[in-house]
């Protein structure tokens, strides 16, 4: 039986933990918050995933050494701001034989590293190594928790590692593909959250489907330009972790980033929007790094830059459309 430790007891980590456990994996959930673990272990439910029941076979621990011991796969599902600190805690207990899977989506502002690169960085600092795979795609936890059909990508330059993750995570309702463009896969997972903020702002201002479609399409063009400039594969951005993830995040009411954007469009402040959403809004965290990457690689990203200006108080949301529409005319 494959043994998997899930770091993080948020909706995505728990939805995946349940999926794996129901399909015959030995699953242990680690969290730095003991009260979360107590609630999960006693109620077998997650407060933000109504209707989902967790198998009684799942294990829970606040001891990261215990979580790592004897596992085949370590799954990082903590919010992006906590990936580095979690990797630092776990690194002394990670062995070379273990596979590491990251499902957190974001880019670290200070270093411009993706989440899997952060994990590798912390392992290297402690003279450890492991094979790291990014698992990303259009995957709302609320639907995975209900066994609704879902497709996702396991990405790594190490094809055997990606295939091992594909085999371990695939179920009758959860189909896993592989690719070798880990950076492009992770870039798509981070930048799409920023575009979803833009779509939400537009909806909050009362704009319609035409504007939504335009922002999704041109947002993907911005993502593709950046990815290609960073050496990623163009086809990644038309796949599940590119356009696929962008569509679901920009159109579903499960999307925290879309919700936060709508609140901003309604005139809420950033802090008010974050409080009302009540969970981590990854697009807000990824925004500074996305802007820095655009500048570093000299890529024009007007939608991303407009969102940055709105959140930074330099541009009123109501004036953003005029700013975008008034740009010089050009070929698509």
Q: Which two structure tokens, joined as six digits, stand for 259?
A: 């919700």
| Separation of alpha carbons 5 and 277, rounded Å | 28
Provide the angle, in degrees to the nearest 10, between the axes of the packed helices 256-265 and 270-277.
140
| Separation of alpha carbons 297 and 251, rounded Å | 29
Q: Which of 81, 85, 39, 43 is nearest to 64 (CA)?
A: 85
Which residues line the annotated binding site for NADPH? Answer: 11-12, 105, 141, 256, 280, 282
* Cβ neighbours for 165, distance < 8 A, ≥ 6 positions apart: 73, 99, 101, 133, 135, 154, 156, 176, 178
Helix, strand, coil shares, percent, the chain, to 5: 55, 15, 35
Active site residue 163: no
Residues 192, 212, 274, 295: which is the catalytic one?
A: 192
Which residues line the annotated binding site for sn-glycerol 3-phosphate? Answer: 105, 137, 139, 192, 245, 255-257
Which residues line the annotated binding site for substrate? Answer: 105, 256-257
Asked if residue 219 lies in contact with residue 242, where contact means CB atoms within 8 angstroms, the answer is: no
| Separation of alpha carbons 24 and 1, rounded Å | 7
Q: What are phi and psi of 42, to 5 degrees?
A: -95, -35
Which residues line the annotated binding site? Answer: 8-13, 82, 105, 137, 139, 141, 192, 245, 255-257, 280, 282
DSSP state of 329: P
| Separation of alpha carbons 74 and 132, rounded Å | 9
User: Quick one: residue 137, left, alpha or beta (phi over 0 = left, psi -120 to 50 = alpha)?
Assistant: left
* Cβ neighbours for 113, distance < 8 A, ≥ 6 positions apart: 107, 121
Q: Which of 59, 45, 44 is nearest to 5 (CA)?
A: 59
Which residues line the annotated binding site for NAD(+)? Answer: 8-13, 82, 141, 256
Active site residues: 192
């Amino acid at each position: 039986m494959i043994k998997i430790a899930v770091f993080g007891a948020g909706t995505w980590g728990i939805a995946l933990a349940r999926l794996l456990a129901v399909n015959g994996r030995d699953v242990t959930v680690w969290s730095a918050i003991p009260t979360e673990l107590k609630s999960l272990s006693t109620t077998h439910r997650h407060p933000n995933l109504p209707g989902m029941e967790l198998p009684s076979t799942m294990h829970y621990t606040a001891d990261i050494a215990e979580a790592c011991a004897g596992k085949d796969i370590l799954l990082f599902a903590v919010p992006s701001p906590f990936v580095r600190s979690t990797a630092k805690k776990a690194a002394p207990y990670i062995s070379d034989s273990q596979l590491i899977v990251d499902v957190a989506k974001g880019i670290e502002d200070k270093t411009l590293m993706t989440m899997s690169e952060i994990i590798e960085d912390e392992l290297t600092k402690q003279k450890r190594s492991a094979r790291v795979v990014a698992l990303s795609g259009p995957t709302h936890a609320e639907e995975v928790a209900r066994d609704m059909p879902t497709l996702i990508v396991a990405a790594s330059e190490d094809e055997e590692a990606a295939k091992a993750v594909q085999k371990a995570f695939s179920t009758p309702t959860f189909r896993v593909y592989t690719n070798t463009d880990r950076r492009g896969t992770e870039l798509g997972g981070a930048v799409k959250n920023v575009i979803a903020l833009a779509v939400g702002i537009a909806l909050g201002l009362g704009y319609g489907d035409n504007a939504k479609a335009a922002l999704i399409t041109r947002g993907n063009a911005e993502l593709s330009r950046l990815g290609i400039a960073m050496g990623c594969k163009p086809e990644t951005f038309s796949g599940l972790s590119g356009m696929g993830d962008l569509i679901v995040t920009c159109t579903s009411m499960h999307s925290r980033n879309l919700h936060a954007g709508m609140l901003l469009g309604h005139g809420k402040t950033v802090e008010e929007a974050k409080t009302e959403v009540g969970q981590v809004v990854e697009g807000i965290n990824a925004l500074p790094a996305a802007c820095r990457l655009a500048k570093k690689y000299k890529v024009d990203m007007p939608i991303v830059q407009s969102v940055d200006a709105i959140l930074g108080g330099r541009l009123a949301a109501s004036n953003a459309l005029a700013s975008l529409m008034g740009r010089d005319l050009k070929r698509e």
